[in-house]
Amino acid sequence: MSFQPRNVYWAWLSVLVIVLDQISKQLVVRHMDWFEVRPLLPFLNLVHMKNTGAAFSMFTNASPVIFVLLATAVSVGILLWLRRHPSGQTLVAIGASLIMGGALGNAIDRVTRGHVVDFIDFYVGNWHFAAFNIADSAISCGAALLLLDMLLDARRQREAGKVGS
């Protein structure tokens, strides 16, 4: 039997996301003015934006308290899942830990600033994706890993059904 790390051990990844997210946001706040744009690549700028809403600036008039409570509830749920499912679901554990780190990273902004600092501006021609940050990236990557795990699990179940037939 091979060693499988406990799922809860992946929670360190949440801490890493929070630290990198907060450091990057602090650097932007200290060294860039509001709405300042610094080109990095032909498709990527650093910008200093304020987001009072959720993803893609949805719900901009909602109270930051709602978002903090949601991030807290999601994080508690993820921690409970990590503890109750001891091992063997590495992709889910990594994905959930990335989501938790991102949710808490943005929650820290809402508590300390009343808004989230966004600073990554990806664009093609004149089309710009909504500005985002490391926490948002972690949430997106985590969600993609959860989706990948579901697809792989469906494939495994199909293949197991073929073998059993």
Catalytic residues: 118, 136
| Spatial separation of the C-alpha atoms in residues 140 and 161, rounded to whole Å | 32
CA distances from 78 to 10, 66, 74, 151 (A): 11, 18, 6, 20
| Spatial separation of the C-alpha atoms in residues 10 and 93, rounded to whole Å | 6
**Cα angle: 99, vertex 105, 107; to 5 degrees:** 100
Paired strand residues for 51: 116
The H or E element that residue 45 is part of is strand 44-51
| Spatial separation of the C-alpha atoms in residues 77 and 96, rounded to whole Å | 10
